[in-house]
Each structure stands twice: as structure tokens, then as C-alpha cells.
Structure 1
């Protein structure tokens, strides 16, 4: 049969031969999968992404790279972009949104923005001021400016990459034109981010070559030379020296103090930084998922030109607990389940988000069973296993070549089964002394001690006390003269006063000047750190007026907003001013880097 004999066909004879050959080799499940693939391919062809407008070459346009980051990923990508731009002969300025002079926005010509999303659609904490200005009435018109946005996010949240979407939309509203369409990246952002960087730099370099003026160098690639030191891509195998419980007998919480040896690593960190741990999945969770899939652990397949077994892949390579929209799409196609297809609809975003939060991958596999599953197809719907970050609870000044963590393992029940945090329970249950784990240091420049003469106020609950232990060790080692005040909250004084003897020692020798504690389960009414703050409102405001730096570390859902509101109330009460004026006061603390938060 020729192409002309196939009604409606636009295939060439060779294409038709290949299609027939493929169709004869497919089983029913593979045919269903390939049909979904080509349906998506067809949609992409019929509804292409808008292409960037073409621009006449303009000489000597300024180029600024702006980033907003919470954990450091956006900052790392921004530095990679800067290096790639300079390697291409482009002149550019790099700026953190936290430090950027917002009044300069109206003078920008080309803006490249890399920004992550914090929580449910918010910008990173350090970038809040920039977003408030850009989205506010004082934002300048940006006619004549161009921009491109790389958005980082986590697709398990309903408002995926929302911060990037917000700034992308706002710049358009202000009159700027896109250099390229926005790219939204999930937690496995490395490849799409590298492609975006390469494409953007190539386009700008091409324009610069065509513009009047000196020629620019040829683009040599978006990456930078690999560093020789240990980092996220090359973690250091650190040995656990100690792993002990630091709650008393009878506590209904579990908190552990874990010490790693960094001897021979050359790793350096400052108080306020975090340590990343390259984790592996619980063997029992892997076994349960393989059982639900009906796959043996030694089932072999090829992934990115590398031979793997499904057991190895699910243990060390991929996230296998939290379900994502990507996995939902894959399993809806494979299972043909009506309930899953309904969740894919655009108007079901809220229901989809709730479903994904309340169903792990194994729950979906069990609830909507299918026949044979191909290992390669299954892992293609998963995200790469990501490192986990923990605030460091030590200072190198006090513990050379060591890194200490304060970890509370995550344990809960879901669908009648016990579930466990991937990293926290690895550390709690499967990492006794002498265990070796791959680690690296993640810098956190937005959570730093001030000068030794400056007063500090540290506010935290539970494991949020970890960086303050590092702060005190550092100040003690340096003989800092600035006053220190700790507000600490936990459940019970007798069992949950983390590092109690150390705080008492620092109080005795004057390293710590004041300490107010709140143990919520010790009385008839629950008392939290924000209540203690309000009890000490006059003195706390006095410290602020004397130039104190305020730090908040702990739970993002409750602690951080409660403390923030308390701080505003205290300022309004003690300065006898309006709530709006108090908000401006606290906002100025943030702008001056005197109010810093490390929340999770």
C-alpha cells in the first residue's frame, strides 16, 4: 500500500513502513503508552509555545542577572549563567534580589531572572522586598527593556513555580518584552536549566556579534569548569562520629544530635550554613513498591546509556515516595483510570494537589493497578532523588573538621501504614556511628552573624535551635562583645530542652545574656515563643532600637508567620504607632539584613 492509498495520511512511504514495523512489535500496554506520547506530541505541534519576538540588534545593551533564592540553587545557576555570559564575551552584572537597588529597575535593558518559589507560591524570603516593589504601584515602566525568566519550583505544590510566573507576568505588564519564553523547572532542574542558559547566552552573544562594536568570543558552553573541591555534584564521604538522642526518657518527640567528621575534605562553612546529604531510599519502601509493581529487584534496563536494575534505581536514583503531576499523568495513561483522568483537568488543580499530598506513589500503584510495567517507562515518570539540607549546629571554630546536625525524624501514618521521612529516618534508623554518607556544604548568605559588637535576638523552636548553637560557639570562640538573647520553644521542659546544659553554660559565662523559653505542653494553656516575645515587648523593642539583628529558624507554616505578626505587634505597641507603620519598620529591618529567617 502506498501513501496515496491511505486516506488522510501524510506519511511518506518510509515513515509508514516504520510505523507498521513499530505497531507489530507493541503489546497492548505499549500501544496505549505510545498513543499517549503521540497525543501529547500532536498537541505540542498544534499549540506551540509562543516564540520570542525578534529584535533589531542594539549596541551595548546592559545585561543584569537577577536571582532570588532560598536554598542556594537559584544563586548557583545565576553564577553559572554569569560565567557562561562572560565566556561568550558579554558584559553582565550579577545581583541577589535581596541586595538589588530596586530604584535601578527602570534603567535596566536586558534582565535575566532566576527565581525559586517558597512554599505555596511565595517568593524566597530574601526576595520579598524586590517582589513587593516590582508588583507595587511604585514599579517603573519597562518599555524598551527585555527579560527572560527561569523559574524553579516543586511540582508537588499546587502553585508550581509561582514566583517565576508572577515576575514573568509583572515584567510583561510593565511593558518589557521577552527575550525567550519562561521555563519552569521541577526539583530536577539541572538539564532544563542548562539548556535555558545555553540558549539565552547563544542568542545574546549572536546579537552582540551582529551589533556595532568589537566582536565577542564564541560561546563555549553554558557550564563552568568543574570545581576540584567537594560539592553537591561531588559530595564528600563523611563518617558519622556520634549519633545520640538528646531528648529525655518519656518524651513524645524524637530528636537526635549527629556528628560528622570532615577530616581531609577541605570543606569550610560558616554559622548559618547548611549541610546537604545525598540520601538513599529505605529498602523496605523499595521492596513494597516493587511488590506493588510486580517487578523483581534485578529486572534490568538501560537508563541514559547506563545499565541498571530496578532495585538499584529505586534505592539510589529516584524519588519513590511523594507523587508528582508527572507521575500522575504517566499512571493515568497506563491505568486508564477515570478518577486520575479527572484530576488531570485544568480546573481540578486544588483536588489534584490534595490527592498528591495524601497519596504516595505506592498508594496510587495499589489503588489503580495495571498489568505489566516496564522499568524504563516507570522511572521516566519519577524525579531524581534529591539531597536533603540540614542547618548546621556547630562552628568550625569550636569543632574543627566536624559538622553537627540536630535532626527530628519525620514519622506519620498514611492509609493505615507507617511512613517515614527519607533523610531524617535514614539518619535516625540506619546511620549508626562509623556509617559513611555523602555530604556537601550549602552556603546560606542570608543567615549570617553580624559584627561581634552587634546584639542578636535568636528565635526558634525544636530543631530550629540548631544554627543558634553554631552562633554561640562562634561568638564564644571569637570573644564577641555583642549581647545575645535566645527565645526557644519545645513541648516539655523536663524532656525536650535541647542542649540545655550548653545554654546554661553560655548564660553563666556571658556569651548568652538572656534566655526565654516556652514549653507548650507543661501548662493548661499552650505557650509558644511568640507569647514570650510579647511578655518581653519593651526590652525586645529596646534591643531593636539599639541595632539588634533578629533571627528566626524553624517551622514555616506556623512559627515563622506567628513570630512575624508578634514582631509587628510589639513594634506597634512600643513605638505607639499604627500597624502599617510597624509593618514598614519590620520591612526596613529585612531590607537592612537585620531580620533574617531560615524556615522550612
Structure 2
């Protein structure tokens, strides 16, 4: 939105300056700025009403700058924000909340759950928890230790604590927002009082997160007003505007249309897989990223699937339907670009059951049929739902209202910004499968494999992942474990280390099916080995040997040297499949610690936990 001179109190020069500045600000900077201006007005008002002698008042303000302290602040309860974040969303929300609370004068402590000293929990006054749920209802890695403590016999009674929980999740998973639900229930069991009801968010979390934030802020402001007799506390935090303005106007809610420069098939002829290497231009976006970050892509559904749905229901493709903030758009455009049509979830099935009298759908949703429902949803999409439970008593407009917004797909960035400014590289494994009588494919991976050509554009944004970062010391050794497309971020790691001329040792464990067809980025690894950027490379090609060999087997074979590297300060990184690979790799690490370190199983687990707390065991698994 551009300011205009005619509808603003600013002159032409001021409007021009504001229009240059505002698009560059992040949300936290805008929030801070609005809070700062509000605080400034409060000071002026206080000066005019309370202190007739403005010279003395100005002197007081100068003496307390940059921190303005109200005598009533001692009556304000301290707020503790704890976040459990796997990909960075919860951390970003927590930081924004801290900024808002600080602007209102609250004293705030912000911490990742694994950095929080649990012995101080009984001293907490107001506790705000923002957490994701990972995998099958598990806490994120950086929430594990706090989660286990809270659910142990060591957890203290919390009768004097007020709390609220914001839970992030994905409704396509069975245990939606389970970690947030667990925290909410356990805090209540320990005697804590709910400050504001828990809110559970799906992948499109912005509106619900904002609703929870507003509700929490209103409750806290009401409590503050009671504690201070109606007076307002004014505090001034250090400004985020003090750093150079390198922010982009593009974000998750305002994606950039990136031009596709290259789209190559990395897999050799005869491979059972298709892995694509995409290079996108970020020129003109002002988007930057660090190794370990991901790129979000908002995909389009397959046109054939969209047309089959419309034909099945005999709808008019040009009929206007409502899409939340976009207003009315043609039905075909809505199904193609805005709505999720390839995944079935329990909430969707429940909503759909009200639009048909088909008894079989209602039976699937009956108590005790959870396994049958789960089995039905696996591998099916909206077209299956419409065909299996016809006839439907609904219009197109009514039916699309039950569909959720199509979520972005995140891919680990496979390049270094320092090495390739204004470009971003991705490694995307194409998902194809046959189920329930039809050939199917991944929404985004299928689009990139079949319908995206150089010159086309994709809607993208940078998704920061502060929990997957290279060591700050370029001399520190690193061990990278990334089979398949999980190797993508390690290409970025080594590009970055090469650019910085880092001297730290590096060791890569890579695995896939066949050496001849599936050795992703083989030329890059061999060049870096020759030049010394990569110190060691161990590979496992599971289908090239009679007995399947995976990366965890190579780790066990090199257990003595691997443990020595860790003892010397190496950081461990794991990227790729969560269900099998990540668990197998972790089991291998525990075995190595026991064998080479002479530890008991319990001591090995504690050792791994300590590595995680030191940020020396980081995972990006999915």
C-alpha cells in the first residue's frame, strides 16, 4: 500500500520518504516503531498533565534514556515465553510477541525450551508457550528436555503460575498439535491457571496466531491495569532499526515471483528415482538466506485433477467462489492455485459429512473407526472423496469453503548466498505413486518435474531455520549425514565454507540406491575433496550390494574416528527422512558413544542430549 499526499497529514517529501522506508521493514520493526510512537505520545501527555515544569520533565526523560522506567513497573508480573521450534516458525512468533510485550512495558524473558533452566520454573509468573508438533505427535528437538522434565515427578507445583499455549501443527497428521495439547494439559495438572485458552493452528497459522496474541495481550494489559491502579507502564527497548536495512518486502504472506533459470534431472538413466536440480533467480527481491535455511514454494495443483473434480460435480469452472482475503475468484483458479485438494484430513472429512447423506462416510467417522478412517485417507484426494460418497447436496461455493489453503512446500536450500548472490538452488525428489486405481504425484515436486520450464516463475519465500546452522567458528569440524535429497543443505554448507576459506575439517556421509544413477552432486563432492574443502567422504549405495548398506552402517564402520572427531568438537548435522533414516542414525550414534566412549546406554543418551543443547547435534528431518 502506498501513502498519498492527498489523504495523509504528510507533505510530498515526507510521503516519498515513508514510501521508500515502509516496504523494507519487517513485521517486528513495524510493531516496534508503532510502539515507540505510542510511547512517545504517552510521555508528552504525562508531561502536560503531571509535570507543569516541562524543563524538569525533559531532564528526567534525558536521565532515564534509553530506558524509561515507571515506578509502578515493580508491580508488573514477569512474563516468560518458551518456544519449541523445529523449522523456526515458533521462534519467529515468540520473538514478535516479545517485541509487542516490550513495547507495552512488560518485563519479558524469552528462551528456547532446551535453554531454559528448569529449576527456575517454580518462580515463573506468567508462562506463554509457543510450540510445534513434530512427526507423529512428538515434541521438536529443542523442546524434548523441557517436555520430559514437565512430565516427570520432578516437575514442581505451579499454583501461582498463569499460562497460555499456542500450538502449531498440520491437520494432515493424526496427532495434530499434540505437543501443544500435552503442555496445556500438564500445566493445568500442576496447578497453573489458564490465562487464555489454547489455540491450535494448521499450516496456515497467521490469522489464528494473531488472534491468540491479541487475546493474551488483552488479558495481560487488563491484569497490568489492575496491578498499577490504571496507570500505564512505558518502557523503551533497544531498536531493531539500529541494524542496516537489508530486509525484503517479500515474505511467506507476500511471496516473490522467482524466475526459473535451470531445471535439470540429476538422476541417471535407469534410476528408480527422479531428482531435480532447480536454480531460481532472486534478482530484485532483496531476499537473503543462510546455509540451513529453506525455500518455501507455493505450488499449483495439477490442471487435470482440477478439471476432473469440476467435471465430476458438473460445476461451472467460471463460477465465483470466496477465498478468504482474496474475495471472489473463479472456481477453476481457486482449485488450481489456492486450495488443498490432494490431502484428506479428519477435520475435512467431518465437514464434508454434513454435505452428503451417504451413510458410509458417517460410519467412517463414528467412534471406534479411527483406524478405518486413517486407512481410507491414506493416498486419496478430493476427487476420491467426491466419487466415493456421492451424491452431494452442495454448491461449489459451499464445498470450497471447507477446503484449507494450499500450504507452501519447504525445500532445503542447496546453495550459498555468498557464493551465488541473487540465486537459490534446490534439490527436489519427484514423488510418484499408484494408489486406489490412479497414478498420483506430489503437488510441488510433480509441478517442478513436469510443468516448470526455464523462464517460468514460482511463488517463493525464504524460510529461516535458526536450528540448523554452521558453527560460528569456521575452524570447527563438521560431520554431515544426508542420504538422498537430504544432502542438499550440505552442498550449501560446503559452498559457504569454500567462499569463507574455512579451515575446519568436514566429513560427509551420503547414501542412495545406486552409484551409477543416484550419486547426487558427485562432481561437486569430488572437486571439494580434491581441493580440501571436504576432508572425508563416505558413501553407501544400498542396491549395489547383496546386503543393503545404509549411511548408519558406514558410521558404525568408522566409529572410532567419528567419535574422535566429536570429542575434538565436531558438530553433527542430519538431514532427510525422519521416520526411518533419522532414527537409525541416532541409534548408530548411541551405539558409537557406548562402544567408543565406554558409556552406558543412559550415559550415551545424556551425551547426545548435551550435544543437542550445545547446538552440536542439529537435525532437519521430515
Counterparts of residues 339-358 of structure 1 (less than 5 Å)? 339-358=360-379
Say if 1:59 and 1:213, in contact at 8 Å, map to a contact too: no
Q: Deviations over 1:43-99 (max 9, x none)?
A: xxxxxxxxxxxxxx9932111122111222222322332233334443322222243
Structure 2 Cα separation of the partners of residues 78 and 157 of structure 1:
24
Instruction: Quote the offset at 1:217 in angstroms.
Output: 6.8
2:463 is the alignment partner of 1:442: yes
Q: Is the 8 A contact 2:355 2:393 kept in 1?
A: no
- CA spacing shift, 1:89–1:228, aligned 2, 3 Å: farther
Deviations 1:248-275 (A, max 9, x none): 1111110111101111211111100001
Q: Give per-residue Cα distances to partners, 1:394-418, cap 9 Å, x unaligned.
A: 0012111110000111111111111
After superposition, what is the alpha-carbon deviation per residue over 1:205-260, rounded to whole angstroms, capped at 9, x for unaligned?
Answer: 01101112672379xxxxx99x8621111111111111111121111110111101
Q: Deviations over 1:316-371 (max 9, x none)?
A: 11101101222211221222222221232343333323322242121111011124
Indicate conservation of the 8 Å contact 1:187/1:383, yes or no: no
Shift of residue 304, structure 1, vs aligned partner = 4.4
Q: Which residue of 2 aligns with 1:392?
A: 413
Q: Which runs of 5+ in 2 are unaligned?
A: 1-72, 235-239, 242-246
Residue among 239, 243, 256 paired with 2:276 = 256
Deviation at 1:431, TM superposition (A): 1.1
| Higher alpha-carbon deviation: 231-240 or 57-66 | 57-66
1:319-468 aligned at under 5 Å gives the runs 319-450=340-471, 451-468=473-490
* 2:511 is aligned with 1:511: no
Residue 165 of structure 1: aligned partner: 181
Q: Distance in 2 between matches of 1:464 and 1:475?
A: 19
Cα shift at 1:566: 0.4
Q: Does 1:282 align with 2:328?
A: no
* Farther-moved stretch of structure 1 (558-567 vs 77-86): 77-86
- TM-score scaled by structure 2? 0.83
Name 1:120's counterpart in structure 2: 136
What secondary structure sits across from 1:580 in the alignment? helix
Aligned length: 538
Consecutive unaligned residues of structure 1, counting only runs of 5 or more, are 1-56, 219-223
Counterpart position of 1:487: 509
Greater mean deviation of Cα atoms: 508-517 or 296-305: 296-305
Aligned counterparts of 1:76 and 1:279: Cα–Cα separation in 2: 24
Map of 1:29 onto structure 2: none
* Shift in alpha-carbon separation, 1:77–1:352, aligned structure 2, 3 A: farther
Change beyond 3 A, Cα 1:137–1:214: same
1:207 is the counterpart of 2:223: yes
Q: How many angstroms apart in 2 are the aligned matches of 1:302 and 1:482? A: 55
Q: 1:78 to 1:62 in 2, by over 3 A?
A: same
Q: What is the deviation of 1:289?
A: 1.5
TM-score by length of 1: 0.86
**TM-aligned CA deviation for residue 503 of structure 1:** 0.5
1:577 to 587, 592, 599: 599
Instruction: Write the deviation string for residues 537-572 of structure 1: whole angstroms up to 9, x where unpaired.
Output: 111111111111000000011110000000000100
- 8 Å contact from structure 1 (residues 318, 384) kept in 2: yes
Q: Distance in 2 between matches of 1:256 and 1:358?
A: 23
Q: Cα gap change, 1:502/1:186 in structure 2, threshold over 3 Å: closer, same or farther?
A: same
**Residues 156 and 353, structure 1, Cα contact 8 Å, conserved in 2:** no
